[in-house]
Structure 1
């Protein structure tokens, strides 16, 4: 499954549009990650535990979107957009949404 943020596929002919597909993931950040991220904030550096959670959530959302597109008969999703939001009480959950247009190209 080809995923792209562009609205066209250079050198390819789009033969069918299936419409909008999306994938959503909500992941909670646990107290251990919060603790280590807090230490990183104090001493400086990157909060790799949060980066890993973000990466995992993004991959899950993209995978869910790709699976939805495949079920429609698509072989690509164009115009992919990723959105990141915090949700839940105290903003303790991370929501990642991937959305795009499912297409078939040749």
Structure 2
């Protein structure tokens, strides 16, 4: 499956727009990650534990979106948008959305 943030795919023709697809995930960061992240915030640097959680959440949301697109009969998703939001007590929500399409190679 071709996945792109652009609305067109170079070398492909979009034959049919099948609809909006999305995937969501909510992941909680545990107390130890919060503690070590706060130390990183004080002394500077990157928080590897939070970066891993973000990557995991993004991968899960993208996978759910792709599964939904396949059920529509799509072979590509265009116009993908990723949204990150923190919600209550260290919970992290990641949403991936895009348009499922059928394409053919030019």
Q: If the length of structure 1 is used for normalisation, what is the TM-score?
A: 0.94
CA distance in 1, matches of 2:11, 2:21: 23
CA-CA distance at 1:87 after TM superposition: 1.1
CA distance in 2, matches of 1:87, 1:34: 14
User: In structure 2, what is the equivalent of residue 87 of structure 1?
Assistant: 87
User: In structure 1, what is the equivalent of residue 58 of structure 2?
Assistant: 58
User: In structure 1, what is the equivalent of residue 67 of structure 2?
Assistant: 67
CA-CA distance at 1:77 after TM superposition: 0.3
User: In structure 1, what is the equivalent of residue 95 of structure 2?
Assistant: 97
Query: Which consecutive unaligned segments of at least 5 residues does structure 1 have?
Result: none
Query: Which consecutive unaligned segments of at least 5 residues does structure 2 have?
Result: none
Q: Secondary structure at the match of 2:40?
A: helix
CA-CA distance at 1:11 after TM superposition: 1.9
| Range with greater deviation from structure 2 (19-28 or 33-42) | 33-42
CA distance in 2, matches of 1:17, 1:44: 46
CA distance in 1, matches of 2:15, 2:85: 34
Q: Secondary structure at the match of 1:60?
A: helix
User: In structure 2, what is the equivalent of residue 27 of structure 1?
Assistant: 27
4+ residue stretches of structure 1 with deviation over 3 A?
none
CA-CA distance at 1:43 after TM superposition: 1.7
CA distance in 2, matches of 1:42, 1:20: 42
